[in-house]
Amino acid sequence: MTKRLILIRHAKSAWDDPLVPDHERPLNPRGIAAASDLGQWLASRGYVPEEVLCSDALRTQQTWAGIAAALPGAPAPVLKPALYQAGPDVMLAVLRHATAKTVCILGHNPGIAEFAHRLVKHAPLNTEFQRYPTGATLVADFGELDWAEVGYGQAEPADFIVPRELVA
């Protein structure tokens, strides 16, 4: 059974209050709109995860909430504190414990960008993949592997989008 990963960097967050700890930064209005747009894009393509592994930071949870509102039967996120500011090896370890056929991971840069680059056999044609800006979303397929067997360089990129392309 083919496994699919939807890898999402949180949407744009607010920086207007320097007293708010990084972990508690919310999405800004642009990020809220982007999360909704991403949800509609995922739904339009049939990319609906059965399992969502999410950093426990406020901005990743709010990103998923905005996305999930547009997805039929969207699952509740499983909050993973290890994904907060995680590097690629931690993300891979979390992914290897996934149980569903289609899994979504929501995380942060720089780790999520490096994780995406290491996972794929080749980069998608979209030049924004190199930057992996806020809201960047990679859909990647792993073939018949079990999640426990997944490693770097095994994923075939199926799709990639950034929010600004959805409003263009």
Tens digit of pLDDT for each residue in 40-76?
Answer: 999 999 999 999 999 999 999 999 999 999 999 999 9
State pTM to two decimals.
0.97
Mean pLDDT over the full length of the chain: 96
| Cis amide bond preceding 124, omega within 30 | no
Q: What is the pLDDT of residue 67?
A: 98
> Domain limits at 137?
4-14+23-167
Q: pLDDT digits over 136-148, tens only?
A: 999 999 988 899 9
Distance CA 162, CA 68 (A): 17
Report the domain count for the chain.
Answer: 1
State the CATH number of the domain containing residue 63.
3.40.50.1240
